[in-house]
A and B are shown apart, each in its own frame.
Chain A
Amino acid sequence: MRPGELIGSDRGARAAQPGDLRQAWAVLEQVMDPEVPVVSVVDLGIVRDLDWQAGHLHVVVTPTYSGCPATEVIEDDIRQALEQAGFAAPKLERKLTPAWTTDWITDSGRERLRAYGIAPPEGSSSKRSLLGESPLVCCPQCGSAHTELLSQFGSTACKALYRCCDCREPFDYFKCI
């Protein structure tokens, strides 16, 4: 048994099995973003990679925004969830490159955002959508495309504030970056 293949568990250490990484991904799919508690850190594309390094699970994470105040909380949550699932002392690495993009949000993550009342990012993060005119954002409540931008920044740095001109409901839009 090589050290690189050890995982700890409350049943004692045993050799890592092929399914363990898959199980680690499954554990992380249950770790929710603290500010948007319906999407997981995997759905958001914050967890970039998982592998074994020197006997420990090695987790590569990337922050959504440079100043995202949830970054430390997310890392603590990831560490705690993995340890509870029996992965001893996982090593977390914070990586800025390549920079996080909303293109990495999974389809199921987008659907859950919408169901939660947050319009998911529209289109891909091309230069045009960053610099260009406002994208077509549909109201997550009534589905109307007749909406207007209230502010470039909403309740968090990753969102903008919109209003539906039909049902009059204000809502957050997950900005495309």
Chain B
Amino acid sequence: MNNDLIQYLLRLGDSALIQGQRLCEWCGHAPALEEELALMNVGLDLVGQARNWLEYAAELINDGRDADHLAFRRDERSYRNLLLVEQPNGDFAVTMTKQFLYDAWHFQVLHGLSQSSDERIAGIAAKGLKEVTYHLRRSSEWIERLGDGTEESHQRMLAAIPQVWRFTVELVNSDEVEQRLHQAGIIGNPAEVAVAWQSKVADIFASATLPVPAPASHFYLSGRQGLHSEHLGLLLAEMQYLPRAYPDATW
């Protein structure tokens, strides 16, 4: 059970961290100042949540590594994040589509975890849920505004969705680790998360006048197993450069 828990904590922490890192790539490039502040603040929340999960994972792994070590010294194959969050930002439509699909899933997952029999998990999740509630509200509004906006923004959304949709297979399918953790009362029911996610996506896409693609059913890679697309390695190379070049450096 401890191994399952460690794997699951890495999935949560790694997904939040990589999503946060991708958002921060917009720093200095966002379409408007307010938008830049918002993207960075969402990224900051996610990096903070990642730290909470990775600290717990590091304590359970108990081999002397801390959360920073897990974040900055693990290779791509040891990362357990969702494939969705490691995809490149693309244009603003792709960025917001990724954000919305992740937020809608993240909200349901944290909601389940806030009832966890593990008090530490419940505490981290309850705190994160307050933040993710705002993230989801904001990204939902953007999907509606872009989808039901101008001809240009509608076309951009139509182009963005197929680029990332195939990676959503990981949001609606669970594996044995998650099944066992659910049986043990540690995480919510993955099947309920999937249904709630599908319903939220259908609602928001409908009000954004966007068609919902057929459910993604298979993808040959799995972030949960450490089998990533080529984009994660490049992201980690940038994110981990400093701690790798100067191990154990301090301010």
Contacts and interface: CB of A to CB of B under 8 A. Distances in A.
B124 A96 contact: yes
Given A96-B123, A97-B122, A99-B126, A67 B46 contact: yes
Contacts of B19: none
B34 interface: yes
A96 B127 contact: yes
A82 interface: no
Interface in B133-190: 133-134, 137-138
B44 interface: yes
Interface stretch (B47-55, B68-76, B202-210, B232-240): B47-55
A152 interface: yes
Contact of B49 (A66, A97, A155, A161): A66
- Interface SS of chain B: helix, strand, loop or mixed? helix
Q: In terms of DSSP, what is the predominant structure of the interface of chain A?
A: loop
Given A66-B131, A67-B48, A152-B138, 9 more contacts: A66-B51, A66-B124, A67-B49, A69-B44, A97-B123, A99-B123, A151-B38, A153-B42, A157-B131
26 contacts: A63-B48, A66-B45, A66-B51, A66-B127, A66-B128, A67-B20, A67-B49, A68-B48, A69-B44, A97-B122, A97-B126, A99-B126, A99-B130, A125-B130, A130-B133, A151-B34, A151-B35, A151-B38, A153-B34, A153-B38, A153-B41, A153-B134, A154-B37, A157-B45, A161-B34, A177-B134
Interface of B: 20, 34-35, 37-38, 41-42, 44-49, 51-52, 119, 122-124, 126-128, 130-131, 133-134, 137-138
Interface of A: 63, 65-69, 96-100, 125, 130-131, 150-157, 161, 175, 177
List the 8 closest A-B pairs by CB distance, nearest first.
A67-B48, A66-B48, A97-B123, A151-B34, A153-B38, A67-B44, A153-B41, A99-B127
